[in-house]
Amino acid sequence: MTFKSFIRHTILLPCSKLYGAVVYMRNKLFDWKILRSHSFGVPIVVVGNIAVGGTGKTPHVEFILNVMRNTNHVAYLSRGYKRRTKGFVMATSKSTPRDIGDEAYQVYHKFGGDVVVAVCEDRVFGIRELLNIDPGINMIVLDDAFQHRYVKPTAAVVVTEYNRPVYEDKLLPYGRLRESVRALNRADLVIVSKCPARLKPMDYRIFSNNINLFPYQTLFFSRLAYKPLQPLFPDAVARIPYLDWLGPADTVLAVAGIGNPKPFVRFLKSFSFKVKVNVFADHHNYSRKDMEMLRDRFEKMRGENKIIVTTEKDAVRMSCNPYFPHELKAVTFYLPIEVEFVPGAGGTDAFADTLRQVIRTNSQ
């Protein structure tokens, strides 16, 4: 047994069992109604996961918002992870990621006035404030709130990752699970995200059999579709390159500070150009030193054409960063992503229809 394995089994595994006992008891207190779940007069759609790390939850939240905003006056509420403010904050045109967090900032600027955006650590208080401020709201989407059981969801959506099956994982800190796999029983829809381009019927069956959902639950499979590059600073860019225009003599510096950057890097490496990689922690707040390091690395790179490509999530923080080097603005781009539900395993229309049906049924 290696030293690392010894530490995991002698320290992390007992801690994991203790953590699991605490989570189990907390959930039982809600099941026994000792701790109260609050209901509201409008449908509440909760989107979350049971594992830490990047499952691709934010693009799925955006997909749901995009589907629902056509027929509803929708509000988006998150806790505003890593923001510098406290309490309830409504997003405005003057808000920054430091005010409302990365995800809320991204959602606000992607949907404009079509979706009301706010953040609050106390989701119950946040929902009440939203409904007081805008009584016309008739649907609220809660981001990363599957474990926040003080709010009773009308529809609960859980996103789990294809390459990190929850049924093979363990509870924190030994593994990556916030709750045991049994917690999926509380979900109405389960999405297996970041699937490869081609899934065989056997792949569907393996996940379906191992997750073993109840008849009232529906399993979907999705993948992330990368869209054409977009400039981080549009006013500084004369021409937007296409990735397939770049060749072996060109170099891309990939910069990512997200939960799981591997699919992003893998996508860039599927092209013929050379790829250099700088990975930071999830929700990384880029400092002056970070910006100077990226500038120095970019200047030392060789290539007939050189650009920087970052993720859509990182673009939120970089675009507002006062330390971003002026000389890099014309060569920095980000990759937008969208969710596509896998045909043959439900599909996009089936997911939207199922979500609407669950909301109608549970609202009665």
Asked whether residue 315 falls in the same domain as residue 174, the answer is no
Tally of structural domains, the chain: 2
Asked if 346 and 305 sit in the same domain, the reply is no
- Top pLDDT among 113 and 358 is at 358
Residue-number span of the structural domain to which 296 is assigned: 228-335
Q: pLDDT tens digits for 164-201?
A: 999 999 999 999 999 999 999 999 999 999 998 888 88
Q: Phi and psi (nearest 5°) for 157? A: -115, 125
Determine, yes or no, domain membership for 233. yes
Do 203 and 268 belong together in one domain? no
Whether the predicted model's global pTM rises above the 0.85 cut: yes
Q: Is the pLDDT of residue 6 over 70?
A: no
Same domain, 322 and 185: no
94 within domain boundaries: no
How much is the average pLDDT of 322-349? Answer: 91
Where residue 112 falls (left for φ over 0; alpha for ψ -120 to 50; beta otherwise) is left
Same-domain check for residues 277 and 306:
yes
Same domain, 245 and 359: no
pLDDT of residue 69: 95
**19 belongs to a structural domain:** yes
* pLDDT, tens digit (0-9, with 9 covering 90-100), for 250-266: 999 999 999 889 889 99
pLDDT digits (tens, 9 = 90+) for 93-113: 999 999 999 999 999 999 988
Whether 85 is in a domain gets the answer: no
Residue range 8-33, pLDDT digits in tens: 778 888 899 999 999 999 999 999 99
Q: Please list, in sequence order, all residues whose beta carbon lies within 8 angstroms of the beta carbon of residue 123, skipping any fewer than 6 positions away.
A: 77, 79, 142, 145, 148, 150, 151
- Judgement on whether residues 290 and 321 belong to the same structural domain of the protein: yes
Average pLDDT, stretch 195-224?
Answer: 91
On whether both 217 and 272 belong to a single domain, the answer is: no
Q: What is the pLDDT of residues 32-79, one digit of tens each?
A: 999 999 999 999 999 999 998 778 899 999 999 999 999 999 999 999
| Percent of the chain at pLDDT exceeding 90 | 84
C-alpha 167/C-alpha 181 separation (Å) is 6
Pairwise CA distance, residues 308 & 277, whole Å? 10
Same domain, 280 and 184: no
pLDDT reported for residue 43:
98
359 occurs within a structural domain: yes
Q: How far apart are CA 172 and CA 22, in angstroms?
A: 12
Residue at 327 is within a domain: yes
Q: CB-based contacts of 167: which residues, under 8 Å, 6+ apart? A: 181, 210, 211
Shared domain for 212 and 244, answered yes or no, is no
CATH number of the domain enclosing 61? 3.40.50
Query: Do 323 and 237 reside in the same domain of the chain?
Result: yes
Residue 90 counted as domain residue: no
Residues 359 and 275 placed together within one structural domain of the fold = no
d(C-alpha 42, C-alpha 72), whole Å:
11
Quick check: is 101 in a domain?
A: no
